[in-house]
Structure 1
Amino acid sequence: MSFFNKVLASIGVGNAKVDTKLSDSTFMSGDLISGVTEIEGGNTSQSVKSIYINVYTTYEREANDKKYTESVSIYSHMVNEPFIIEKDEKKIFPFSFNLPLNTPVTMGKTRVWLQTGLDIKNSVDPGDKDMIEIRPNAFIHAGLTAAQNLGLKLRNVDCEEAPRAYRGLTKFVQEFEFVANGGPFRGKFDEIEFTFIYKGLDQVELLIQVDRKVRGLGSLFSEALNMDESFIRLTLSKTDLASLESKLLKEITRYT
């Protein structure tokens, strides 16, 4: 019977089960995430090489004029050393790790989840999926607040393939797209986009893309050639956040 159970477990029948339980479900990028992973043995003893927890999100990439949605692991954490889980045995493993700084905010279409798996030789790896909420950190909160105070309305948030210059750092970036419904920029831009590139816990590079509105034949020609788009790059520390609104006003006004 033991041999028969091993054969069944190798195709996922009567296999060990895994369940990750988190101490919380809401975080910010860089936060410590902790909890326990519970393993329940199946119909036979099995050798578990490792328990791994991956942080996943999705992003869109474009190829051949088509858009594709890709799942990407932005962090991987190994919980334990190899062990044996006996038939019907239960084991509990605590874990903790810091979420990476580039963990996107769960706004718009963006989703973030933990995928827990068991690496079991000659068997289908069992898994567990846990959705988590990621709130804006200090940099993003300051950026969103400053944009709102300048009359910019958040229209869309999504993750896109990173520009070529940044693909050595990350596969994707999160874009916050605004429209100027009021304030000093009303009627002057089609849209404004913010992207935050993290340089460390206390420093971020804010990329701002401004798309000017078409005015006349010359502007229409510029738009056709994508010449109506301008890019602003700001390096910010936490001490800059209190004056971010005035910085944005000054920089973006240059392109009106």
Structure 2
Amino acid sequence: MAKYVGLEWASTGWFGVVLDDDGGWDTGVYPSVWSAWKYHSDADRILIDAPIGLPADERRTCDVAARRALGRRGSSVFYTPVREAVYRETLEEAKAVNEAAADFSIQNQAWSVVPRTREVDEFLDMFPSARDRLVETHPAVCFYALNGRRPLDASKRTRDGVHRRIELIAEEYPDAGARCRAAIERYTTPSYAPSVGSAADVVDAVAAAVTARRGPDGWTTLPETPPADDRGLPMRIVHPADTAQTRLTNLSPPE
């Protein structure tokens, strides 16, 4: 039976949602990508909210396109540092390397996710067999697509924002509403010792899993023809295609 996985970093581990073609649904928390792969290496597709493919000397086209599509919500997509900067030990060293190589600085928020970026990059270097099944997505772009190619008004950190995102997922996957709420209750309580960081982590992982279940025929890829990095990894972000199968404009990095 085909299996589809969505992974979202959730403060202390990767929160995963597993779907299958018969409506099966499972969830779990994994301390590392290696751990998630141990349990789900048989998955047909795994979509993860983490950069795959690191640039050498410029911004990734997919990051630029995603930020422009999201408009006022574009700041939720960080510019991915160059590979050499990702492997530096301090932010100061990484900024100096990135500015010299690509002429842009590293956002402090982007640096906070560098450990996950490095983890995924190392994993794919060690397990090349995962390259055709582990694919980058971004929840803000997924919800933008599910919302009729419009950025959502409410932040995912608010009750209204979580509710709206669950509604959008339920339009795609009818059982998702009740199951999202059950997972939120299970993994975010008690508040003094939650298994995951927030309800937003849950709905983001569900969006990734639902997109994985669609498969490439139901995706839009940013950019439409992604370039590869120096290890041959495609630098792309996938998200649900809308009903008209339209494509976002293939935007180039700024001069």
TM-score normalised to the size of structure 2? 0.23
* Structure ranking higher on relative contact order (CA contacts 8 Å, 6+ apart): 2
Structure with bigger helix share is 2
TM-score normalised to the size of structure 1? 0.23
Rg comparison, structure with higher value: 1
